[in-house]
Amino acid sequence: MTDRILNNRYKLGEQIGSGGMSIVYKAEDLTTGETVAIKVLRSELSENDQLIRKFNQEAESAKRLTHPNIVRTRDAGYDDNIYYIVRDLVDGMTLKEYIDKEGPLAPDHAADIALKVAFGLQYAHSNGVIHRDIKPHNIIIDNDGSVKLTDFGIARVLNDETRTTEYGKSLVGTVYYTSPEQIRGLNVDERTDVYSLGVVLFEMLTGTLPFDGENAVNIAMQHVTKEAESARKYNKAVNTSLDNIIRNAMAKKLDGRYRSIDDMIRDLQKYLAGNDMGIFRIAPATVRSSSSKKGISAKKHAEKERRRKKNADDINAFLVNMLLVVLLSGLLVMLIYGIYTVGSTIIKNNFVVSTVDVPDVCGRPEAEAQKLLEDKQLIYRAVSTEYNSKIPAGYVISQTPADGETVNEDSLVQVVVSLGAFEIEIPYCVGMDIVSAEYEIKKSGYITIGKYNYVDSNEPENTIISQSLPSGTYSLDGNYVTIYFDISKGPSDEYVELRNFVGYTISTVQELAKDITIKVTYEHSDTVGKDVVISQNIPAGTVVEKGEEVHFVVSLGPEKLVEMEVLISIPDNVNISSDGVLFVTIKQIRNGDFVTVYTGNANVENSMIEVTLEGSGTQTYYVYANNAFICTKTVDFD
């Protein structure tokens, strides 16, 4: 494989990894010189056209994922019976190798790695991409300590989207991290990634797997039927809160699992901030403790309705019974009256729902907020945590429902709690090219790049022209911040269409023709005025390169003619008539034609004749006497 070139672009180098479905090579992108990682897929996968199409679709999805915690997919293609995927090359090791090397990790370290993976997943999920194959082999710890997810896409095509019958029989692979719903062949959603991350977290903390066995089916079974042991059994440093996080992630039933990766992020951040008092096991749907944000109003409504109905039915039943008793026996009236009074009070106290106004808990410490709410028979629930530049750690940032709203008693009031201020460094990227800027941004870990805005500029193509956030320290509000760049499209065209300059004065031409190099020669003209362009050597309408030389012929105006008495010596051998008169013809070459400029008799005196000629500059004449050429004469009129 080494030195093989794919699609004339990627030159394969040394092998750097392998798996059941593929092998990874270092490679050189011959068009840019960059070193990349290329994953080559197994031959029978590479041969199936339908699969290739699906892989390409997945690669397109994966290419759109740009995030500090995701290894970027650059390209994918097919060449010579090989389907390959091109990714950034990350210098580092897989989490699998890291755990093998370091042993069980300290809880904070493991939670931090899990948090970074979760950030990557959060981004992917919000872009509609589920990983489906989260495992330590797909998590890279690079030499700077950054945590990056890789291998989006293939798992989706092979495990869930495609019936394995489409590409033939295969031997079962790793099932250590597979979610119960995947084992059962059901449709999976983002929560399958939460489960797998839970398993990874367990493994990071203990160095072992929650489910292991002698064969794949044995392990698969356990995911569906067996409760995992507590990680605390293997690592005493794991506290209840962290254990709860693992259990919440690894819940077999979806209603007992984190509803989304966001909820897992909330708990991990709480744990890391030392604020882990509020990390509870998620209780599957029972009357009070539903943690579903969307479902709350529906559930509350259903409960309200149920209670109303029960209330109405109970009262009806009771009244009917009471009437029957009264009708049957008047002697019991006193006793019945007593029961009725007490009974209706009981009903009123337990079944009629009262309402309450939601107090304002924003800006208050959690404990105080909780007490304020509970004093009003409301339930306090912290649903997420965020950094905030203004609100101190442990204080409430926002609440839902808002203060002043009227709700039923026992309603849930959800708050966002502050993690306090957190400053990050925003790098100065103006003037950098996109690749360098992306690198700088990714290094920081808490910044994502928003959609690029391409603008006209004289700067070279792909240079950052401006950034939406100033460089320097920045106080986070939220879990990360998005920066936007204006990027130069590159200087506009290097070509210009030549216009017509004929008829313009040369000074006008010099003003107008900024994109070309002007060369001028001068000529007399009787028809074209002085300083006006007579002709241009490249016709108007021609597209030329900027800076192209264009030659203009500019008029000097009509020739200024000077009259001059010219003396011409007559050679001795010329036959002169007796009265000293010579028939002279003087010719000149003008515009390629041999024209006669003088014809007539001239008096010869002292072997000379005098002729009046008119011209400008230096002219050469050919003198004929008696129609025979005798000599040339050069005259300088100036």
Burial class (CB in 10 A: 0-12, 13-18, 19+), 380: buried
Chain centroid, CA 485 distance in Å: 11
Number of chain residues interacting with another protein (CB under 8 A)? 34
- Looking at the Cβ atoms of 209 and 224, the one nearer to another protein is 224
- One of 45, 272, 533, 609 touching another protein (CB under 8 A): 45
Contact letters for another protein, residues 184-213 (x by CB under 8 A): xxx---------------------------
Chain centroid, CA 583 distance in Å: 94
- Looking at the Cβ atoms of 183 and 369, the one nearer to another protein is 183
Contact letters for another protein, residues 5-24 (x by CB under 8 A): -------------x-x--x-
- Looking at the Cβ atoms of 110 and 220, the one nearer to another protein is 220
- Looking at the Cβ atoms of 174 and 297, the one nearer to another protein is 174
Shortest CB 173 distance to another protein, Å: 8
Helices (H), 207-332: 216-225, 240-249, 261-272, 293-328
Site for another protein in 499-518 (CB under 8 A): none
- Looking at the Cβ atoms of 137 and 371, the one nearer to another protein is 137
Contact letters for another protein, residues 134-173 (x by CB under 8 A): -------------------------xxxxxxx--xxxxx-
Contact letters for another protein, residues 214-233 (x by CB under 8 A): -xxx--xx--xx--------
Per DSSP (E only), the strands in 401-480 are 406-408, 412-418, 423-426, 447-449, 453-455, 464-467, 472-475
Q: Does residue 40 bind another protein (CB under 8 A)?
A: yes
> Residue 437: what residue type?
A
Which uninterrupted H or E stretch holds 195? helix 191-206
Q: Which residue has the tokens 């209706």?
A: 344
Beta carbons within 10 angstroms of residue 32's beta carbon: 11
DSSP state for residue 278 in the 8-state scheme: G
- One of 76, 90, 183, 419 touching another protein (CB under 8 A): 183
DSSP state for residue 401 in the 8-state scheme: S
Asked if 133 is an active-site residue, the reply is yes
Instruction: Report how far residue 332's alpha carbon sits from residue 170's, in angstroms, rounded to the nearest whole number.
Output: 81
- Looking at the Cβ atoms of 222 and 411, the one nearer to another protein is 222
Which range in 41-49, 198-206, 351-359, 370-378 contacts another protein by CB under 8 A?
41-49
State both tokens at 632: 């040339």
Shortest CB 227 distance to another protein, Å: 15
Instruction: Report how far residue 566's alpha carbon sits from residue 50's, in angstroms, rounded to the nearest whole number.
Output: 98
Q: What is the CA radius of gyration of the chain?
A: 46
Measured at the alpha carbon of residue 118, what is the angle toward residues 197 and 20, in degrees to the nearest 5? 45
Shortest CB 105 distance to another protein, Å: 30
- Looking at the Cβ atoms of 41 and 532, the one nearer to another protein is 41
- Looking at the Cβ atoms of 217 and 589, the one nearer to another protein is 217
Shortest CB 168 distance to another protein, Å: 6
State both tokens at 28: 């050189």
What are the φ/ψ torsions at residue 297 (nearest 5 degrees)?
-60, -40
- The answer to whether 120 and 152 are in contact (CB under 8 A) is no
Q: Does residue 385 bind another protein (CB under 8 A)?
A: no
Shortest CB 42 distance to another protein, Å: 5
Question: Side by side, which strands form the sheet with 396-400?
Answer: 379-386, 412-418, 396-400
- One of 47, 255, 303, 477 touching another protein (CB under 8 A): 47
Shortest CB 18 distance to another protein, Å: 8
Shortest CB 83 distance to another protein, Å: 11
Instruction: Report how far residue 322's alpha carbon sits from residue 205's, in angstroms, rounded to the nearest whole number.
Output: 64
Instruction: Report how far residue 6's alpha carbon sits from residue 4's, in angstroms, rounded to the nearest whole number.
Output: 7
Instruction: Report how far residue 495's alpha carbon sits from residue 518's, in angstroms, rounded to the nearest whole number.
Output: 16
Shortest CB 167 distance to another protein, Å: 8
Catalytic residue of the set 29, 100, 108, 133? 133
Site for another protein in 341-370 (CB under 8 A): none
Q: Does residue 43 bind another protein (CB under 8 A)?
A: yes
Residues marked as catalytic? 133
Residue ranges in contact with another protein by CB under 8 A: 1, 18, 20, 23, 40, 42-47, 159-165, 168-172, 183-186, 215-217, 220-221, 224-225
